Amino acid sequence: MYHLSSAAEKRARLSEGAMTTLIRGRCVLTSAPAGPLQNAAVLVDGPTIVDVGPWEALRERSPDAAVVGDGGGIVLPGLVNTHGHFSEGLVTGMGETLTLLEWIQRLIAPVAPHLTRESARVGTLLRGAEMALSGITTVNDLFVCSPRAKDPVTPGVVDGLEELGLRGEVAFGAQDRSDPRPIDEVFAEHEALASAAAVSRRCRFRLGIATVLAQSPELFAASVRRAADAGWRVHTHLQEVREEVVASRQEHGLTTIGYAARSGLLDREIVAAHCIWLTDDDIELLAAHEVRVAHNPVANMILGSGVCPVRRLQAAGITVGIGTDGPASNDDQDMLEAMKSAALLQKVSRLDPTAMTAPEVVRMATIDGARALDLDGVTGSLEAGKDADVVLLNGRTPELAVIHDPYQAVVYSATNRSVSDVWVQGERIVAAGRLTRVDLDAVIDAARELADGLAAAVGLRDDPHLVHPEVIRAAGRGADAGSR
Ligand SMILES: [Zn+2]
């Protein structure tokens, strides 16, 4: 259904003088049934891919198209980041020795009330820039902050994504247990974000639930009801750490997944981050409800959370995408690093180099990620009729100078330094390694100023659990900062 109706129509569109581009590679990884193509190209007309095939044939067919790529690099679908938090955009690189619950208590919760629409916008610009420069074209975000009914925060995410040109699934990670709020106030924030997304070019709203246990039973029930009534898709975390499963069993007599299923949450279209601590029953429930999973290997390793049983999930028919997770738990937004980490974590934890392969990782980071977000009709693979979300990796770099197997080159050799060009819906948002739509220097200046203010307001740089004591001493603060 996404193929243009006829070759004649294609030719007509091409001859209208619309902007056409040929993106050329030594190899094109399509993530489509066509598989990998050697010495091939992607022909883009306006926002749409019109053909993918041999370079010479496409060149002959479209001699006037602009050509990007010297034929020595790798072309692949725009990468789909299935889980992140722009709310952490200004608090990166702290608290490396904390477990998840400690890290939430010491960093995420104290920061949440200080976030504003402007800091959301700037944090999104900064981390969205990092994402785009690593080949990400679609991001699924869960912004955790205190709701502000009169002055909503989360539309700042849509502002930032629109400026960058990224495609986004946007959600407000609502919670009210550690920070009690009237339910109306929480829903006003959801509604404000939904309205901002509705008038955006490339954002779509999801109902966010920070975690099931972070919501009061009243808010959780209201969230499930509203998602059903409004037909909203959902974004949450599920069973990231063992403590969560124990707490859920104590409170509800069920794992979080069992409780979420009983409450009706899993009847919604839902993407859940992590899914690490799972029983066989949990996996059956995830499969039966077609829950899609976002696997975040780097954050899981930094926080010491555990290893997602990716193969068991996939064997049960569950779609698993890859995420960077937030910039405070990762602590970067480099999708190529997350992809390499996904393979390495499975291999070393199972003591088995066949535990995950490069073609599987590329599939997870592209078409499976798009499927996880219910966007596989428009992105995630290079096929005629789909939106032109495309990445070109430069072959004229030390790391990609020699390519024997393009899948292994992408997953193990490429770095964000290799990303040369990125298109979203045919719009070139990165050209020759530079952002085209925003002034990165200005974003960096604004981010530093806001981050300094945030750190001072919350006292982040004086907490020896977040910043190493010798750094605090070197800054002349807290000779009495103590040791851990
Ligand atoms: Zn997360």
Q: What percent of the chain has pLDDT over 90?
A: 93
Q: Which CATH fold would you assign to the domain 7-77+381-435?
A: Urease, subunit C; domain 1 (2.30.40)
How much is the pLDDT for 9? 55
Beta sheet of 270-274, edge-to-edge order: 79-84, 136-143, 167-174, 203-211, 234-238, 270-274, 292-295, 320-322
How much is the pLDDT for 1? 34
Segment 280-287 shows an average pLDDT of: 98
Q: Which residue has the higher pLDDT, 244 or 8?
A: 244
Segment 73-79 shows an average pLDDT of: 98
Which two structure tokens, joined as six digits, stand for 204?
């779509």
316 CA to centre of ligand 1 in angstroms: 23
pLDDT-based confidence at residue 477 (cuts at 50, 70, 90) = confident
48 CA to centre of ligand 1 in angstroms: 32
Largest CA distance in the chain: 76
Nearest to 420 by CA among 35, 152, 92, 69: 69
Report whether the peptide linkage leading into residue 45 is cis, meaning its omega lies within 30 degrees of zero. Answer: no
Domain 79-372 sits in CATH at: 3.20.20.140
Given a cut of 70, whether residue 17 has pLDDT beyond it is no
The whole model's pTM is what? 0.95
How much is the pLDDT for 6? 52
User: How far apart, in whole angstroms, are the C-alpha atoms of residue 62 and residue 55?
Assistant: 11
463 CA to centre of ligand 1 in angstroms: 23
DSSP-derived 3-state class of residue 174: strand
How much is the pLDDT for 2? 37
222 CA to centre of ligand 1 in angstroms: 22
How much is the pLDDT for 484? 42
How much is the pLDDT for 4? 40
Return the ∠ at Cα 113 (arms to 185 and 453), rounded to 5°. 145
pLDDT-based confidence at residue 149 (cuts at 50, 70, 90) = confident
Question: Domain coordinates of the chain in residue numbers?
Answer: 7-77+381-435, 79-372
120 CA to centre of ligand 1 in angstroms: 16
pLDDT-based confidence at residue 482 (cuts at 50, 70, 90) = very low
How much is the pLDDT for 16? 47
Given a cut of 50, whether residue 5 has pLDDT beyond it is no
Mean pLDDT of the chain: 95
76 CA to centre of ligand 1 in angstroms: 26
For ligand 1, an ion, list residues with CB under 5 A.
273, 325
111 CA to centre of ligand 1 in angstroms: 15
Segment 249-271 shows an average pLDDT of: 98
243 CA to centre of ligand 1 in angstroms: 16
Answer yes or no: are the C-beta atoms of 255 and 249 closer than 8 Å: yes
pLDDT-based confidence at residue 18 (cuts at 50, 70, 90) = low
